Amino acid sequence: MDFSGQMVVADLEAGVGTLTRLGDAGVDLVLIVVEPTPKSVEVGCRAAALVADKQLGRAVVVASRIRNDDDLAMVTKAFPDHQVVAIPDDPAIVAADRNGVAPLDSAPDAPAIQALVRLADELVAPGS
């Protein structure tokens, strides 16, 4: 079958367990989602180290629930060698989660969704 032009987006289990079992040609890109807390950043750093050790490919850090410059600085400082994309803390995402609906449908213009749209556009752009 010809799978050209198709993409697979996988949402892995929390932690790094699945990452440790991923084969070396399994993915093109790993998005490491972290919150600006020491626990989350620590786990993200371990994920980034695994991606590098296993040579899984490119890793981009998605800094989620960012409230201010300090939050973002905490993440960027921990990942000096990675592209870090900020997703703002956004009540629209919380509301969508509470209601069990896709935030892209319920709040397409929310700042967090717009930031994700920009990230997706960048990742699928030719040559990225």
Partner 1 sequence: MCEASIMRVAFVGKGGAGKSAIAGTFARLLARRGQPVLAIDSDPLPGLAFSLGLDRDDAPLPDEAIEDRPEDEEGPRYRLRAGLSAADAVDRYAATAPDGVRFLQFGKIRTDPRTLFRSQITFRQIIKELPEDRWHLVGDLPGGTRQAFTGWGGYAETYLVVVEPMAKSLLSARRLARLALAGDRPVRVLAVANKVSEPGDAELVARRSGLEVVASVPLEPAFADAERSGRAPLDVVPDSGAIGAVSSLVEHLDRQPLRRAPS
Backbone φ, ψ for residue 44 (5° rounding): -60, -40
One residue of 5, 23, 81, 98 binding partner 1 per CB under 8 A = 98
Are the CB atoms for 79 and 45 separated by under 8 Å? yes
95 C-beta neighbours (distance < 10 Å), count: 14
Q: Which of residues 48-77 bind partner 1 (CB under 8 A)?
A: 49-50, 53, 71
One residue of 28, 37, 73, 120 binding partner 1 per CB under 8 A = 37
Rg, C-alpha atoms of the chain: 15
One residue of 30, 32, 34, 43 binding partner 1 per CB under 8 A = 43
Amino acid at 9: V
Q: State yes or no: residue 80 binds partner 1 (CB under 8 A).
A: no
Q: State yes or no: residue 99 binds partner 1 (CB under 8 A).
A: yes
